[in-house]
Amino acid sequence: MFISRDPCSGAIIQTFRSHALTRVMRIVDRVAAAQVRWAATAPSERSACLMRLAAALRGQRQMLASTMTDEMGKRSQEALAEVDKCAVVCDFYAVHGQTFLEPERFATEAGESYVEYPPAGVVLAVMPWNFPLWQIVRCVIPALVAGCGVVVKPASCTPASALMLESLAAGAGFPPDLLRIILADHAKLEAVVAHPAVAVVALTGSGGAGRVLAALAGRHLKRSVLELGGSDALIVLADGEVERAAQAAVSARFLNCGQSCIAPKRIIAVPEVAERLVGLLQAAIATMRVGDPRLADTDLGPMASREGRARLHAQVRASVAAGARLLCGGEVMAGAGAFYPPTLLDHVAPGMPAFDEELFGPVACVTRATSDSHALQLAAATPYGLGASLWSADTERARRLARFMPVGMVAVNATVRSDPRLPFGGVKASGYGRELSYHGLREFTSPRSVWVA
């Protein structure tokens, strides 16, 4: 059963019956047939479909945002921004997508030699709830531009957002059945992965889910693209601009109620700036207003579920018991919803859940380093490798230091973000493969070398 539940009140909004396996497989068959026709479609028609989808997203902006807010508690302003970002991705690939697929020519002793990028086939996209529209669009649009068909399995708590996107895509002129949503539990996914037309499995989710799906894809010799969790470090060095760093840290950490893989979850400061930074963080966090995500003056809405809140609170309490200092928040709020106050932990150290694990909620954690080099060591002391943020007045030195950080993305004097012009993804326990840019587009192709004598 797929259930949309209001995280402000806990009330059920809508229920969706899970698809039977026979229906799931019929959908995959139809996507496979549509993909064959789509692969032969002219590039100009693919771009036209994308432009119409961008217009449809903007036309249904309020309704899409409202649905996301209802399903997972996203603040209205953030939900509207998410829809806008989805439309921008459509615009970007409408203009640049076919250029990314142009054959690459190489000088060899052949009369002509090049690499072309035909579509891989059907993509299975298993997507999360925290950005219920953006996460799907970020994966699906490059796949469609590449000539693939896509089967999307959305999170069980945000089916309505996914189904709205499916409807908009159909109305934008994409072939019927090219993009389909399946409301299937994880037990049915093996049959989908095993389908002969499915060529790539893409997942955004937890490390546990990534391991299971990667093993499943490997069993059937299918490629996989995994965007998993993160515990990004935001490092403020001795010459860093503390006020800007603090402001950026609060903005990025509490976006989407802290439920973002690229949020700076470990704020690491050296002695020269630590006290000032902690003071600024505490002052900003203490003034945040928790409440109805639909109201303009709300700074922090509810978490997506009470189960997620319970996990987060247990991590906070265990960290405090291990020596972390609770400066604000840290108490479960009364009421039927999934609200959790903005929380700040200081003196977080390795060995505590707040340092070793991913805290997926509105909790900022400060770790105090003894020097710049120690700060970089602490930043790397994690199984994750999604992104990192480095703050220093010496940008050239910051660039050099960034080269040694075991992550997929680094921001200097800014926080990590996703942008369609740049590849998105991590290393280590944060997964493999890339989304967005031409790197993400080519994940859904099967490069073919051509040698003409």
Output the average pLDDT for the chain: 97
Active site residues: 227, 261
Model-wide pTM > 0.85: yes
Tell me the per-residue pLDDT of 234-274, one tens digit each, with 9 for 90 and over: 999 999 999 999 999 999 999 999 999 999 999 999 999 99
The tokens describing 131, both together, are 């950005």
385-444, pLDDT tens digit by residue? Answer: 999 999 999 999 999 999 999 999 999 999 999 999 999 999 999 999 999 999 999 999
What is the average per-residue pLDDT within 187-198?
96
Task: Tell me what the mean pLDDT of segment 130-140 comes to.
Answer: 98
Q: What mean pLDDT comes out for the span 99-110?
A: 96
Strand partners, 3: 15
Residue 186 has pLDDT above 90, yes or no: no
Both tokens of 268, joined, read 């690491």
Do 181 and 150 meet the contact criterion of CB atoms below 8 Å apart? no
Q: Domains (ranges, CATH) in the chain?
A: 2-228+430-452 (3.40.605.10), 232-419 (3.40.309.10)
Mean pLDDT of 273-301: 98
